[in-house]
Amino acid sequence: MFLSFFARIFYTVSCPRIQLPTMMTVQQKLEILADAAKYDASCASSGAKRAATPGGIGSTDGTGICHSYTPDGRCVSLLKILLTNFCTYDCVFCVNRVSSDIRRARFAPEEVVALTLDFYKRNYIEGLFLSSGIIQSPDYTMEQLVAVARILRQVHRFGGYIHLKTIPGCDPKLIAEAGLFADRLSANIELPTQQDLVQLAPEKKAAVIESTMGEIATRKDEADEDRRKSTLAPRFAAAGQSTQMVIGATAATDREILSTATHLYSAYKLRRVYYTGFSPYPEADTRLPLKPAPLIREHRLYQSDWLVRFYGFQASELTTPENPSLSLSEDPKTTWAKAHPEFFPIDINSAPREALLRIPGIGHKNVDRILSIRRYHLLTLGDLRKLHVRVKDAQPYCIAADHLPSAPLLAAATTVPDTDLVAAATQLDLFAPLSALTGSV
């Protein structure tokens, strides 16, 4: 009695009554449910190869195609929509939270299937990225998502790309089924730390999200192992799994964010972690900051992410406990190089791959080119220019056939006092990289 009394009072106070729209057209639903999905940064359609099925439609060639670009510079590759933006959760940073006063809509699975096929046949899209607000329960919601993928694959023999969002906490059986139909699965970690989640997404728990990720990773490992034994074994989410983190909504530092990302990459073999800068909205909650996260911070996090995945950096090298934020004015590789003068200069024509990867201004594809070319030809700065290396950034740190960085150049770049350089040079001998600088081999 007591509870029902309170439930009545507080329900009417805190929950604006949701009015079901009367008979919306597909276009109206599409407008609402695409708009609601636009805050999900993931757009990739790459990483999975899927040959066309006889009599069916669609193929996925593994590279991904952007079929259009929107005025915010983002790629349009997939039909990215929510099945519904009704949600029983109340995550503060999310536009679809139950307490948000927005228009709501819900697609029937068949409507999503028809839209996907119609768009696909006209070459507008690579496939479907389907997510959803949580309705009734995680299991019910996940069933609906899986149903769409199942109809596309089994009824229409659709060979295009399918990315399904997995609802944290849903039944592992549903994940197993989803992986059979989808090229990619993802579960959003949402915020970098458990404390952040407690504050801003009270219904979500890092442990539950991570157990869902673990479930996907285990299933994928098993399926991959089966496929090694027999190519007839079914694939499971060929393009792996990804996740998304909102940054700048809480005080979590870049160091914490990168450490969470590293943990997720290694523990669950994620293909991608997407970082989305928080941008405030009207009627924002007081637990949220008033300023948007600078877009450049998002960019620096992506750069760091790449350095960890493709350049052999450890996430912990890119920031320090004393200064846990990435520099907004220079890229993280340059920051690292400035802090480690003892490592440079690097000889383009003889240094190992790992060392070349650490020179600012040289990308990992160019490193591979350099390794291939230098077997036959000594590279000069001019050659680097032909490869579109950012020579201005690279030359203080590298030795080329026609170039030795001058001590002042290196010193200016590293901002380390000359005495330190000399000290470093005298400590290291014979094979020390600094020997070229002083001529003391």
Partner 1 sequence: MKRIPIQPDFYDWRTHARTLLQEGFAPEDVDLTDATIATTLQLALEDEDPRPTGTHVPTPHVPKTYLEAAELAASHRSPDRWNLLYRILYRLQTQPELLRIEVDTDIAQLRSLVQQVRRDLHKMHAFVRFRKVEADPMDEANPFAPHASTLAGNVNPLAEHFVAWYQPDHRILHLAAPFFAERFASMHWTVLTPDASVSWNPNSKQLAFGPGLPREHAPQADELETLWRAYYSSIFNPARLNPDVMRSEMPVRYWKNLPEIDVLPQLITQSANRVGAMVQTQALKPSAAPFVPAEHTLPVINAAMPSCKGCDLYLHATQVVPGVAPSAHPSHTVELMMVGEQPGDQEDRAGKPFVGPAGRVLDRALEELGIDRSTVYVTNAVKHFKFVQRGKLRLHQNPRMSEITACRPWLLAEIDAVRPRVILCLGSSAAKSLLGGTFGLMRDHGKIFPTPYANQVVATIHPSAVLRARDQPSGEQLYNFLKDDLALAYHAALHGSSVQPDVTSV
Minimum separation from the CB atom of position 307 to partner 1 (A)? 22
Residue 75 touching partner 1 (CB under 8 A): yes
- Residue placing its CB nearer to partner 1 in the complex, 97 or 219: 97
Tally the residues of the chain.
441
Total binding residues toward partner 1, as defined by CB under 8 A:
77
Minimum separation from the CB atom of position 338 to partner 1 (A)? 29
Whether residue 69 contacts residue 76, with contact meaning beta carbons closer than 8 Å, is answered with yes
Cα–Cα distance measured from residue 181 to residue 236, given in angstroms and rounded to the nearest whole number:
8
Minimum separation from the CB atom of position 282 to partner 1 (A)? 6
Strand 78-82 and strand 127-131: the pairing is parallel
Minimum separation from the CB atom of position 396 to partner 1 (A)? 22
- Residue placing its CB nearer to partner 1 in the complex, 68 or 406: 68
Residue 329 touching partner 1 (CB under 8 A): no
- For residue 337, give both structure tokens: 């190089």
Of the candidate residues 17, 19, 23, 70, the single one contacting partner 1 (CB under 8 A):
70
65, with CB counted inside 10 A (0-12, 13-18, 19+), is: middle
Of the candidate residues 42, 44, 46, 80, the single one contacting partner 1 (CB under 8 A):
80
Residue 430 touching partner 1 (CB under 8 A): no
Kindly state the greatest CA–CA separation across the chain: 89
> How far from the centroid of its chain's Cα atoms is residue 288's Cα?
23
Contacts with partner 1, 122-161, as mask; x by CB under 8 A: xxx----------------------------------x--
Whether residue 242 contacts residue 186, with contact meaning beta carbons closer than 8 Å, is answered with yes
Cα–Cα distance measured from residue 258 to residue 241, given in angstroms and rounded to the nearest whole number:
18
Of the candidate residues 115, 134, 187, 346, the single one contacting partner 1 (CB under 8 A):
115
| Helix/strand/coil (H/E/C) assignment for every residue in 20-54 | CCCCCCHHHHHHHHHHCCCCCCCCCCCCCEECCCC
Residue 431 touching partner 1 (CB under 8 A): no
Of the candidate residues 171, 177, 285, 330, the single one contacting partner 1 (CB under 8 A):
285
Residue 17 touching partner 1 (CB under 8 A): no
Which of helix, strand or coil describes residue 279? Answer: coil
Contacts with partner 1, 92-111, as mask; x by CB under 8 A: x----x-x------------
* Helices 109-121/26-35 angle, 10° precision: 90
- Residue placing its CB nearer to partner 1 in the complex, 17 or 386: 386
363, with CB counted inside 10 A (0-12, 13-18, 19+), is: middle
Selected range binding partner 1 among 66-74, 167-175, 210-218, 404-412, rule: CB under 8 A: 66-74
Cα–Cα distance measured from residue 118 to residue 30, given in angstroms and rounded to the nearest whole number:
14
Cα–Cα distance measured from residue 267 to residue 32, given in angstroms and rounded to the nearest whole number:
36
Residue 408 touching partner 1 (CB under 8 A): no
| Binding residues among 345-404 for partner 1 as defined by CB under 8 A | 369, 372-373, 375-377, 379, 383, 386-387
- Residue placing its CB nearer to partner 1 in the complex, 73 or 439: 73
> Tokens 């439609």, residue?
57
The answer for 283, left when phi > 0, alpha when psi is -120 to 50, beta otherwise, is left
Selected range binding partner 1 among 162-170, 242-250, 286-294, 356-364, rule: CB under 8 A: 286-294
Of the candidate residues 52, 180, 339, 401, the single one contacting partner 1 (CB under 8 A):
52
- Residue placing its CB nearer to partner 1 in the complex, 27 or 230: 27
Of the candidate residues 140, 281, 302, 310, the single one contacting partner 1 (CB under 8 A):
281
- Residue placing its CB nearer to partner 1 in the complex, 62 or 172: 62
Of the candidate residues 10, 140, 302, 310, the single one contacting partner 1 (CB under 8 A):
10
Cα–Cα distance measured from residue 36 to residue 379, given in angstroms and rounded to the nearest whole number:
51
Please name the amino acid found at residue 437.
L
Selected range binding partner 1 among 56-64, 229-237, 397-405, 424-432, rule: CB under 8 A: 56-64
Radius of gyration for the alpha carbons in the chain, expressed in angstroms and rounded: 26
